[in-house]
Each structure stands twice: as C-alpha cells, then as structure tokens.
Amino acid sequence: MEPSNHTRNQSSVTVFILVGLSSFPEHQMFLFVVFTFIYMAALAGNLLIVLTITTSSRLHTPMYILLINLSLINLLSISVSIPKMLHNLLEHKKTIAFLGCIAQIYLFTWTLVSEVLVLAAMAFDRYLAICHPLHYTIIMRKEVCVGLIAGIWIVGVANSAVHTGFVLQLSFCNWNIINHFFCELPPVLKLSCSDASLNETLAFLADAVFGMGSCVITLMSYYFILRTILKIRSTEGKKKAFSTCSSHLIVVSLYYSTAIYTYIHPSSAYSPDRDKVIAVLYSVITPALNPIIYSLRNNEVKEALRKLITFSVMWWQKGLM
C-alpha cells in the first residue's frame, strides 16, 4: 500500500514510525549492544583526535585543522541518528515526532554536504603540499584556511535549510511508516502524499554538484599527487609523500562510494532494505573508522597521541598521590 495523492496542506501526521534495521524482536538487544559500542567508539575516537590536535602545537597546520573539522562533523553525523535509534531499541518503541524527524533531516543533510566539502579541501591541501611545497605556506595561510572552513560550514547550513524548507512544504497524510533507522531525506520524500518531484530534483542537483563536484576535485588532486610521487627518485621519499595522503584516500573511497550511490541513483531504483545497509556504512561505520584510520596511519598523530596519553597518566597518578 502506497500513500495516495491528496491536495496540499492536508498534513495530518504528527508522529512517524521508524522500522529500524530489523523488525524481529530477538534482534533488538543485539543491535542495541552493537550500536552502543560503535557509538561510544566513534565519540571517544573523534574527541580524542580533536583533543590530540588542539593540545599539540606541532599539529596546528591546515591539514590537521581540517581533520579537526572532519571529526566534529563525524561527531554530529553519528549523534543525529544513533541516540534516538538506541532509545527506541531500549524502550521497544519505533516512533519519532514530526519535528524530531525534520530536525534529523536538517542536521544529517548538513553533515553530508559539509563532509564531502571537507574531504575535497583535504585532498586539495595534500595536492598543494606535495605538488607545490614552495607555495604551500603562501596559499594555505591562516586567513585562507579559516575562510575555507567557515565557507564549508555555511554552505552546509544553507543547503540543508533549503531542502528542509521544501520538505516542510509537503503534505504527509496517513502513511507514516519510514523503512529506515532514522529520518533521511530519500525515504521521507517517499511518504509525502503531495508531489515531491521538485524536492527530488533539488536533492539530485545538490548532491550532483556537491557530491560529484567534490569527488572530481579529490580525484584530480590525487591524479597530480600520484604523478608527482612517481617522479620522486628515493623510495623513502615516495613512502613519506604517500603516507601523508593514504589515510585520506581510504576515508574518501569508503565515504564517496556509499553516500553518492544513495543520493545520486534515481528514485525508481530506491530499495529500502538495501539502502538502509548502505546508510549504516556512511552514517555510522565511517565516523567510527575515521579516527582509527587517521591515528594508525599517521605518525605525527600517533606521536602526539602518545604524548597526550603519557601526560594524562602522569597527571592522574600525581592526583592520586
């Protein structure tokens, strides 16, 4: 049964029902334990990245300032969906208020665009550092870096406001079951009993511009980076150059391949169960993996993290004495 066509302004839905990842009662506690662990790991990992970089003066460079912003976006992204999901699993409820659903759409759409723009900025930063090292400090000076980051957040907020504003113009009548574990734009648009074609077109255009545009910038940056690395004669020099961007490349590959698929494919190809699994990858798994990828594959971050932990342990021991 699909929502029937009604005239606009007949919205009667005040509560949505989130089907979640599984409708089987015996799976609920298992999902609660797994996603609680993932959420706590994501919070701890991303907060640790932020704390490590802010307390280490050696890491106060554009590359790591962008990484702080990526961690902040990851914290916001995973906090949009998981706490409500865990609450529903624990309380054996599947409901979310209409305004709560709108808030999830706004915040998650904001983080989606902000994240792809930060990833593109990080790729461009690595391109400048490896391909134009002599001009790097001139181009990526403090004012440019601050302006770039401010622009990313502003664009994310504006884009999200447009989409959320158009969602509020839609009517939601009797059909209120969302086959997802949180309120994301594509499945919510499917519930509208008014014409959502404009919303779908705007979403497709925005994600083509921001998603594909960021992807092109990233791929072009890595094309020139790879070309420059191959020209380096020493093996040690090649390893050092590649190590500065390998972590970012892993994160980009995982995020773009899943998020762009969800938002770029046509609405006729929409498959709720398949898209839920893919949404878990870019909305839950990626924010949890990012700190691990960056800390394990980056010697500077590992060294700063080691110093922070040593200092924290010494301070704690001193406090007990």
State the CATH number of the domain containing residue 156. Answer: 1.20.1070.10
Residue predicted with more confidence, 210 or 241: 210
Q: Please indicate, yes or no, if residue 249 is contained in any of the structural domains.
A: yes
191's tokens:
């519930």
Residue 297 domain-assigned (yes or no): yes
Work out the end-to-end distance of the chain between its first and last CA atoms, rounded to an integer number of angstroms: 68
Please report the pLDDT score of residue 9 as a whole number. 42
pLDDT of 27 higher than 90: no
Ranking 67-81, 154-168, 189-203 by mean pLDDT, the lowest is 189-203
**Number of domains composing the chain:** 1
Report pLDDT for 1. 42
What is the tens place of the pLDDT at every residue in 187-216?
A: 899 888 888 899 989 988 988 888 888 888
The percentage of the chain sitting over the pLDDT mark of 70, rounded to a whole number, equals 88
Residue 3: the pLDDT is: 46
DSSP annotation of 192 reads -
In a domain, 145, yes or no: yes
In a domain, 10, yes or no: no
- Which pLDDT does position 220 carry in this prediction? 92
Specify the pLDDT at position 4: 44
Q: How far apart are CA 276 and CA 26, in angstroms?
A: 19
Residue 5 forms part of a structural domain? no
On whether residue 8 sits in a domain, the answer given is no
Report CA dihedral (108, 118, 52, 47) to the nearest 10 degrees: 0
Structure confidence at residue 235 as a pLDDT band (50, 70, 90): confident
Residues above pLDDT 90, as percent of the chain: 35
**Which is more confidently placed, 2 or 298?**
298
- Tell me, yes or no, whether 316 lies in a domain: yes
Highest mean pLDDT among 48-52, 295-299, 303-307: 48-52
CB of 77 closer than 8 Å to CB of 115: yes
In angstroms, rounded to a whole number, what is the distance separating the alpha carbons of residues 66 and 83?
Answer: 26
The answer to whether the CB of 64 falls within 8 A of the CB of 298 is: no
- Does residue 6 fall inside a structural domain? no
Most confident of 26-30, 152-156, 253-257: 152-156
**In degrees to the nearest 10, what's the CA dihedral of 144, 146, 152, 156?**
-150
Residue 285 is predicted with a pLDDT of 86
DSSP string, 76-112: HHHHHHHHHHHHHHHHT--EEEHHHHHHHHHHHHHHH
Q: Which domain covers residue 202, as residue numbers?
A: 15-320
Q: Strand 15-18 to strand 177-178: parallel, antiparallel, or no bridges (unpaired)?
A: parallel
According to DSSP H, which parts of 169-285 are helical? 185-189, 197-207, 213-231, 235-264, 272-280
How much is the pLDDT for 272?
A: 67
Confidence of residue 149 (pLDDT cuts 50, 70, 90): very high
Q: Give the mean pLDDT of the chain.
A: 84
Q: What is the pLDDT of residues 76-122, one digit of tens each?
A: 999 999 999 999 888 878 899 999 999 999 999 999 999 999 999 99
- The whole-number pLDDT of residue 124 equals 92
**Which letter, b or e, does each residue of 232-257 get, where b requires 16 or more Cβ atoms within 10 Å of its Cβ?**
eeeeeeeeebeebbebbbebbebbbe
